[in-house]
Chain A
Amino acid sequence: MTPRKGLNRRQFAIRGLQLLGASLLAGCDALSQRDWFASMLERAEGLTRTVQKIIVSRRALAREFTDADRSPVFRGNGTINPSEPEYQALASTGFAAYRLEIGGLVERPASFSLTELRSLPSRTQITRHDCVEGWSAIGKWKGVRLATLLERVGVKPAARYVVVHCFDALKEGGDKYYESLDLEDALHEQTILAYDLNDERLPLTNGAPLRLRIERQLGYKAAKYVRRIELVEGFAAIGRGKGGYWEDRGYEWYAGI
C-alpha cells in the first residue's frame, strides 16, 4: 500500500504545481491586459531611451559593412506588394508620376519626383537591418538624406517630429502604415530615403519607390512605400496617437533595443 500512497502524494504534488503554474500564468496574462500594469511596464521604455540617449552620441554611426557581407536575399516583411489601386497605378508606370510631398510645419512645402530625388546628393550605406522579430539582413542602400530634403523645405521652429505616411495598409482596408521620428534621428547622417537596394531600383517587396532607412533603430521604424512626409509638433492626433502603425499596436516608439 505504501508505494501507492507515495504515488498519490506525488501525483497530488504535481497537480498542485501544475495548478499553481497555470494560475500564475493566467494571472500574468490578466495583468498584461490591465492598463495600469501595461503602463508600468512601459516606463522601462522611457528609461531605456533616456539611458541610450546618454550613452549613444547623436552622431554615432551604425556600423557599415562591405559588399561581401550582404545578405544573398534581402527579405521583405510586412506588406510586400500594396494592393491599393492608387499605388498599383503608380507602380504600373514605374512610378513616373510619383511625387514625394513634404508638408506640415515647414517654411516652403514642396514635392519631389523620383528623378529630382535622384539628382540630389546621395548617400550609399551597407547596413544591417534588425527586425523586431529577431532576424537581421544586410543590404546596400542608396538614397537622399532626409536632412537634405528638410533643409530645402525649411523646418519651422515648432516642429519636433517627422511623420512618414505610407501607401500601404497591412490589412486590406485597414489603417495605413506610418512612422515618426524625432529631429535628432531625422537629421542623422545615415537617415536616408532610399531609392536603390543593392545597386538596383528598390524592389516592390522592400518598399518601392522610396523607403526610410533609420539605422539605429529596429526595422519597423524604417517605413516602406513612403507617400508623403509631414512635420508636426506632436503625433497624438495621427492614427491612434502613438506615433506609428506598430506603436499603435503596443510596440515601443523608441525602437533602439
Chain B
Amino acid sequence: MALPERRIYRHALPTRLSHWLTALCLVVLIMSGLQIFNAHPSLYWGERSDPERALLRLKAVETTEGETRGITEILGREIDTTGVLGASREGGGELEERGFPSWATLPGPQWLAMGRRWHFFFAWVFVLNGLGFGLWALVRGHLARDLWPTGSDLQGIARSIVDHVRFRHPTGAAASRYNVLQKLSYLGVIFGLAPLIVATGLAMSPALDATVPWLPGLLGGRQSARTVHFVATFAFVGFVAGHLFMVTVTGLWNNTRSIITGWYRIRFKGGMDDTA
C-alpha cells in the first residue's frame, strides 16, 4: 500500500531565487577565480609573496628527456599532476604550463583581464543577492523560524549525525523542517563561509586596504587573505558536494522540484498523525 503523502510549500520565492542566483554566481566566481589564480599560481602567508616561501605552487618542469610535467608543490612536497595541475592540454594540444586546466577556468584560454571582468561583475551579484536574502530572512522570520537551531535541535546533534551516517532520513512532519545538521551547515555557509570569502576578497583590494588596514591585518597580510580566499572557496565547493550528495540520497526529484517550484512531497510512515 502506498504511504499517505502530502505536499507542502517548503521554499518561499526569495529562497528559491536566491538559491539559484547563488548557484550561478558560484560557478562563474570559482571558474573566473581560477583564471585569476592562474596568472600567479602560488599561495603564500603574510604580506609578501617571496618565491622561496610559497605554501603552494603549480608549475611546469622539463625532464631531462625534454618532456613537460605538471608539478603541484605543497609545503615543499612535489606531486606530479601532469594533465591537470601545473601543465595541461588546451583543446587536446601540447602540454603547456598552466595552473588549473582550461576546462576549469573562465574564460578557457589564459585571459586575466576578462577573468577579472567576470569575477567582479558576479561578485557584485553574489554580494547583493546575499545581502538581500539575509535581510529578507531576518525581517520575514525565515532565519528565526527555519534556520536557527532550537535547544532540542542542539541536544539531538549526536543522534542526527548517527542518522546521517546510517542514511536514515526524517519522514513525516520532521521532513518538513530542516534537521539540525542542515541548519548548522546552512547557517555556517551563509553567515560564516560566504562573508569570509567576500571579506578576504576585499582584503586584496589596495584601495580598501588604505581605509581598513585591519582587514588584511587580521590575517597577517594580503597574501594570507589571498590564501584564505582560495581555501575557503574550496571549503564552499566541499559544502556544495555534500549538499548535492544529500539532495541526491534524500530524493533527487522531490528536492529539485521543491527548490524550483517550492512544493515538496512528504511521506508519512504511520499515517497522517505521525508528527515525529
Contact = CB atoms under 8 A, between A and B. Distances in A.
B171 interface: no
B239 interface: no
A89 interface: no
Contact of B49 (A62, A135, A251, A256): A135
Contact of A136 (B114, B123, B222): B222
B210 A134 contact: no
Contact of A62 (B39, B40, B47, B210): B210
A29 B107 contact: yes
Interface string B116-127: 111011011000
A28 B89 CA distance: 19
B203 to A, nearest CB: 10
A154 interface: no
A28 B222 contact: no
B111 A56 contact: no
Interface in B60-113: 103, 106-109, 111-113
B48 interface: yes
A227 interface: no
Chain A: number of interface residues, binned into ranges: 35 or more
A246 B111 CA distance: 12
Contacts of B109: 29
Contact of B208 (A56, A128, A246): A56
Nearest to B106: A28
A138 B36 CA distance: 21
Contacts of A60: 210-211
B121 A63 contact: no
The binding surface of chain B is classed by DSSP as helix
Interface in A199-257: 215-218, 246, 249-252, 256-257
A56 B120 contact: no
Contacts of B37: 134
A45 interface: yes
B213 A63 contact: yes
Given A55-B208, A251-B113, A257-B205, A71 B40 contact: no
Nearest to B43: A134
B210 A215 contact: yes
A29 B108 contact: yes
B120 A48 contact: yes
15 contacts: A25-B106, A29-B106, A41-B117, A41-B120, A42-B117, A47-B124, A52-B205, A52-B208, A56-B207, A63-B209, A131-B40, A132-B112, A133-B39, A135-B42, A257-B207
Given A48-B120, A55-B211, A60-B211, 8 more contacts: A41-B117, A44-B120, A55-B208, A61-B210, A138-B47, A215-B210, A256-B206, A257-B202
List 5 tightest A-B contacts by C-beta distance, closest first.
A256-B207, A250-B113, A134-B40, A257-B205, A135-B49
